[in-house]
Copies of this chain bind each other. A is one copy, B any other.
Amino acid sequence: MPFINIKVLKGTLSNEKKADMIKRVSETVAEIETSPHPKDNLMPHTWCVIEEVDFENWGIGGNQVTAEMLQAIVAGNT
């Protein structure tokens, strides 16, 4: 019965990436939870909800995140 909730910045995930994230994260969680048994039976009981947060609503270190800040982080320019 794992319930996974992932908050990400809005606009950073295409629908294809969302599908991929839901699939792989759910499989990983169910696999570890049931190991050494196979994960198959727990899969239908594994839920994953993605929440998209506006940049202006997410603060790090007291500052609102911007697209430039995110790009700089991903590029390692921080």
Chain A interface residues toward B at CB < 8 A: 1-9, 12-13, 15, 17-30, 32-35, 37, 40-53, 56-65, 70, 73-76, 78
A27 to B62, CA, bound (A): 7
A interface majority secondary structure: mixed
State which of B3, B25, B34 has its C-beta within 8 Å of the C-beta of A74.
B34
Q: How far is the CB of A33 from chain B (nearest CB, A)?
A: 6
Across-interface contacts of A7 in B (CB, < 8 A): 2-5, 49
Interface pairs (14), CB distance under 8 Å: A1-B8, A3-B6, A4-B4, A4-B6, A8-B29, A19-B56, A26-B61, A26-B62, A37-B74, A41-B73, A41-B75, A46-B60, A47-B47, A49-B53
